[in-house]
């Protein structure tokens, strides 16, 4: 079928159908989105990323006995196998349900089933008016007289109200039993296209001590294929296992609202926290609007000042994973390694995973980016570390100063020299983390600087390097083993 223009009887943009009046808001439970697709400024209108559970109420005028109902305006990416429609009491029950997936024009026509429409011919003349019984290439319209028209070729459909045009999917339900009258049913379903993650901004104050202003927000993305108006939000932090892979969708060219700017939608009062099994939830204190194709920010905590620590770390991240001593002289240790700048602080409360942007005020008074890193789920009172990138003024070079290996004596000795250089105007402390990588049993036989930490897999030094200067760290290790330590054929 060729593309046809859906013509409105009144001026205005296409909008979603209004929900039936109810005292309870639609409630969304949003789970954390790990990927970046939902939050991108480009991409498809409807996304298979993200996960949310929708709880809403729909009102129906029941006739009693068997009846077909149509529920439109559903997200385009919902999980049809997990959809549940429940009527109060024991009288009315669902016999069958069918989900018509939103597919551009055809999906919009399917959403008009049960509504009064007028079919328009190619020359603009009305062909038939009445209730749309069936959509698709061939329309069935039942007129007020009771007669039905089968329409094969038409140019457009005109509806009485802009709210009759629905984006997304339509649920067709057959019910039976119960008495006639108005009733409110509970509709629950999961959908992709909705998700959230933590969005943090730390602004470090100038000076030698590390103090930062910390702002914590929830970043909420909606690419579900429908708008959400005045909804109650519950955000779930943690990793909830899901068996189904997110759906893959062909690119859809549908009407959607322009992405809304980042906005603070609720008052400064923080969300109410609770536990959900091994997960943590944040219930927002006020209703929120989530337009389709938008990213919204809302506060998790009030802004506060935190103590922090800036650290420069030299770490080759080379570890021992074998079952034999490595007796060769050269095991591929890099001669130069970048020194990484990290920011450390203690979580004042539970911090859900997300991204932390670290800023500082420059000489011109503008807040400039120092770096951005991922913040993992961090319980209250635990240390959080975010890497900000390489330290420009700090460098490290590595050389092997001695090596001997005697397999018969079960002994191996190696000497290492690290030259740490600081080209900046202030003194810096560099944390050196070495991972003895030739064998699992070793001892330090000499060191020009005393180690500050020693574990079976780590040797750590704190090295103070003066401004515009350098420091040499020399240390030697002895590896030993016994025949019983080695695998035998």
**pLDDT confidence tier of residue 257, bands split at 50, 70 and 90:** very low
Q: What does the pLDDT average to over 144-163?
A: 81
Confidence tier at 10 by pLDDT (50, 70, 90)? very low
Q: Read off the pLDDT band of 103 (50, 70, 90).
A: low
Contact indicator for 170, 72 with CB cutoff of 8 Å: yes
pLDDT band at 9 (very low <50, low <70, confident <90, very high): very low
Local structure of residue 110 (DSSP, 8 states): H
CA 440/CA 156 separation, integer angstroms: 76
Q: How distant, in Å, are the alpha carbons of 170, 218, 271, 300, 355 from that of 268?
A: 38, 13, 9, 9, 21
| Per-chain mean pLDDT for the chain | 83
Q: How far apart (Å, rounded) are the C-alpha atoms in residues 282 and 268?
A: 14
Give the mean pLDDT of 40-54: 80
- pLDDT tens figures, 381-428: 999 999 999 999 999 999 999 999 999 999 999 999 999 999 999 999
* Burial class for 386, CB neighbours closer than 10 Å (0-12, 13-18, 19+): buried
Phi/psi for 267 (5° steps) reads: -70, 175
* pLDDT above 60 (res 172): yes
- To the nearest whole percent, how much of the chain has pLDDT over 90? 48
CATH number of 311-339+391-489: 2.60.40
- Residue 488 pLDDT more than 70? yes
Q: What is the pLDDT of residue 266?
A: 39
412's torsion region: left (phi>0), alpha (psi -120 to 50) or beta?
beta
H or E element in which residue 434 lies: strand 428-434
Distance CA 55, CA 231 (A): 10
**What are the extents of the domains in the chain?**
311-339+391-489
For 336-390, what is each residue's pLDDT tens digit? Answer: 888 999 999 999 999 999 999 999 988 888 999 999 999 999 999 999 999 999 9
**Helix, coil or strand: residue 299:** strand
DSSP state, residue 378: B
Q: Are 258 and 108 in contact (CB under 8 A)?
A: no
Please compute the mean of the pLDDT values over residues 315-334 and round it to a whole number. 90
> How far, in Å, CA of 344 to CA of 306, rounded?
11
Q: Taking 80 as the threshold, does the pLDDT of residue 17 lie above it? A: no
Tell me which of 259 and 483 has the higher pLDDT. Answer: 483
Of the candidates 152, 168, 48, the residue with the CA atom closest to the CA atom of residue 106: 168
Give the number of C-alpha atoms closer than 13 A to the C-alpha of residue 72, restricted to the C-beta side. Answer: 20
Q: Where is average pLDDT lowest: 2-16, 25-39, 61-75, 328-342? A: 2-16
pTM score of the predicted model = 0.72
């Amino acid at each position: 079928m060729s593309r046809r223009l859906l013509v409105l009887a009144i001026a205005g943009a296409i909008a979603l159908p209004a929900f039936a009046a109810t005292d309870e808001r639609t409630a969304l439970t949003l789970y954390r989105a790990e990927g970046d697709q939902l939050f991108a400024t480009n991409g498809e209108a409807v996304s298979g990323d993200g996960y949310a559970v929708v709880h809403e109420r729909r009102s129906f005028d029941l006739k009693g006995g068997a009846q077909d109902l149509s529920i439109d305006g559903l997200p385009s990416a919902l999980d049809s196998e997990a959809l549940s429609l429940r009527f109060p009491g024991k009288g009315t029950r669902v016999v069958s349900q069918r989900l018509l997936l939103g597919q551009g024009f055809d999906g919009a026509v399917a959403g008009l089933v049960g509504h009064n429409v007028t079919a328009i011919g190619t020359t603009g003349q009305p062909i038939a008016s009445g209730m749309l019984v069936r959509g698709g290439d061939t329309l069935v319209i039942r007129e007020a007289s009771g007669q039905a028209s089968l329409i094969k070729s038409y140019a457009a459909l005109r509806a009485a109200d802009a709210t009759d045009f629905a984006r997304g999917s339509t649920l067709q339900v057959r019910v039976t039993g119960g008495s006639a009258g108005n009733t409110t049913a509970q509709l629950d379903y999961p959908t992709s296209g909705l998700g959230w993650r933590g969005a943090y901004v730390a602004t470090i104050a100038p000076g030698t001590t590390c103090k930062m202003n910390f702002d914590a927000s929830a970043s909420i993305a909606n690419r579900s294929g429908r708008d959400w108006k005045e909804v109650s939000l519950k955000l779930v932090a943690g990793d909830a296992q899901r068996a189904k892979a997110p759906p893959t969708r062909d690119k859809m060219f549908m009407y959607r609202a322009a992405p809304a700017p980042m906005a603070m939608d609720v008052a400064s009062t923080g969300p109410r926290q609770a536990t959900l099994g091994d997960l943590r939830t944040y219930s927002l204190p006020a209703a929120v609007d989530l337009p389709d194709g938008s990213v919204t920010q809302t506060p998790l905590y009030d802004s506060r000042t935190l103590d922090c620590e800036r650290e420069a770390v030299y770490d080759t991240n080379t570890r021992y994973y074998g079952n034999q001593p490595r007796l060769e002289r050269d095991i591929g240790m890099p001669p130069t390694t970048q020194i990484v700048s990290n920011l450390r602080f203690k979580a004042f409360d539970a911090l859900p995973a997300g991204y932390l942007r670290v800023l500082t005020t420059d000489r011109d008074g503008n807040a400039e980016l120092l770096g951005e890193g991922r913040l993992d789920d961090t319980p209250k009172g635990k240390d959080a570390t975010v890497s900000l990138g390489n330290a420009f003024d700090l460098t490290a070079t590595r050389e092997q100063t001695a090596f001997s290996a005697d397999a018969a004596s079960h002994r191996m000795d190696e000497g290492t020299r690290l030259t740490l250089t600081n080209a900046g105007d202030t003194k810096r402390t560099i944390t050196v983390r070495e991972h003895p990588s030739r064998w699992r049993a070793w001892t330090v036989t000499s060191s020009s600087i005393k180690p500050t930490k020693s574990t079976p897999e780590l040797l750590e030094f704190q090295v103070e390097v003066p401004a515009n200067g350098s420091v040499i760290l020399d240390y030697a290790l002895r590896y030993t083993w016994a025949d019983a330590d080695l695998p035998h054929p």
